[in-house]
Amino acid sequence: MKYKGVIFDLDGVICSTDHYHYLAWKALADRLGIYFDETINNRLRGVSRMASLEIILERYNGTLSEEEKLAAAEEKNNLYRELLKEMTPADLSPEVKNTLDALRAKGLLLGIGSSSKNTKFILSRIGLGDYFDKISDGTNITRSKPDPEVFLKGAEYLGLGPKDCLVVEDAKAGIEAALAAGMDAAAIGDATSCGLATYNLSAFSDLLNCVE
Ligand code: BG6
Ligand code: MG
């Protein structure tokens, strides 16, 4: 086996929360009179909540104090969490679950490396609440992707060195973070176009070919 563990990004890799993020940011942007569309939403992939807000505020005609920014981010998150309640185990694709099970059966440790502070809530919604060996997420980092912190912490929690880990990511910022951590990176979806990843996956199950 080439690796001892696989660290998965959550949003856009294990499950799709893009549309919920979009709807919640869109509601906030509309209230503030800010133009926002799916293309701008794509720039928020892998980026922390506060950094996402700064991207949205690029088109704002006023200024918000730090306190107002925190309140705006909380407003978005409250709406986002309401939308997340619609998620069920049916939102976990059989392909993802079967691939995870097959990787585990090969003896690999499985971890999460996500910028989201809602990681545990989302995992529990889709029926993976107790599935992963370790979770590194937005609640244990101070620097967001493309900084390598979330993956370095993930490897440390798994008890592995960077070279023993493969990261799976759908965001360019996440691929950069993995490579900066000294790890190999498998890109899926949007991230395949950045040309930086060790592997480009056309399907989640392709991962099985990357690990040995
Ligand atoms: C990442 C998403 O996983 O988490 C980003 O790709 C999001 O779009 C970030 O901004 C932070 O999420 P949360 O749930 O903490 O607001
Ligand atoms: Mg992602």
- Looking at residue 111, its pLDDT comes to 98
| Euclidean distance between CA atoms 174 and 185, whole angstroms | 9
Determine if ligand 1 sits within 6 Å of the CB of residue 113. Answer: no
Ligand 1 atom index nearest CA of 21:
8
| Euclidean distance between CA atoms 63 and 26, whole angstroms | 18
Q: Which residues contact 142 (CB under 8 A, 6 or more apart)?
A: 149
What is the 115 CA–ligand 2 centroid distance (Å)?
A: 8
- Looking at residue 183, its pLDDT comes to 98
Please name which ligand lies nearest the alpha carbon of 138.
1
Q: Is the pTM of this model over 0.95?
A: yes
- Looking at residue 21, its pLDDT comes to 97
What is the 95 CA–ligand 1 centroid distance (Å)?
A: 23
Determine if ligand 1 sits within 6 Å of the CB of residue 145. Answer: no
Determine if ligand 1 sits within 6 Å of the CB of residue 47. Answer: yes
Please name which ligand lies nearest the alpha carbon of 171.
2
Cβ-contact 178, 13 below 8 angstroms:
no
Cβ-contact 205, 186 below 8 angstroms:
no
In terms of DSSP H, where are the helices of 113-148?
Answer: 119-125
Q: Atom 4 of ligand 1 has which residue's CA nearest to it?
A: 116
Give which of 46, 45, 64 is closest to 54, Cα–Cα: 64
- Looking at residue 74, its pLDDT comes to 98
Structure tokens at 166: 């493969």
Burial of 202 (0-12, 13-18, 19+ CB in 10 A): exposed
Q: What tens digit of pLDDT does each residue of 109-133 get? A: 999 999 999 999 999 999 999 999 9
- Looking at residue 102, its pLDDT comes to 98
Please name which ligand lies nearest the alpha carbon of 80.
1
Q: Atom 12 of ligand 1 has which residue's CA nearest to it?
A: 116
Q: Output the CA torsion 165→171→174→175 (10° steps).
A: 60
Ligand 1 atom index nearest CA of 51:
10
Structure tokens at 147: 């900084």
Q: Atom 16 of ligand 1 has which residue's CA nearest to it?
A: 49
Query: Long-range contacts: 85-89, Cβ < 8 Å, 24+?
Result: 85/125, 86/20, 87/15, 87/17, 87/122, 87/125, 87/126, 88/125, 88/126, 88/127, 89/126, 89/127
pLDDT, block means (10 residues), the chain with 212 residues = 97 96 98 96 92 97 96 98 98 98 98 98 98 98 96 98 98 97 97 97 98 93
- Looking at residue 12, its pLDDT comes to 96
What is the 13 CA–ligand 2 centroid distance (Å)?
A: 6
| Euclidean distance between CA atoms 203 and 212, whole angstroms | 17
Ligand 1 atom index nearest CA of 122:
14
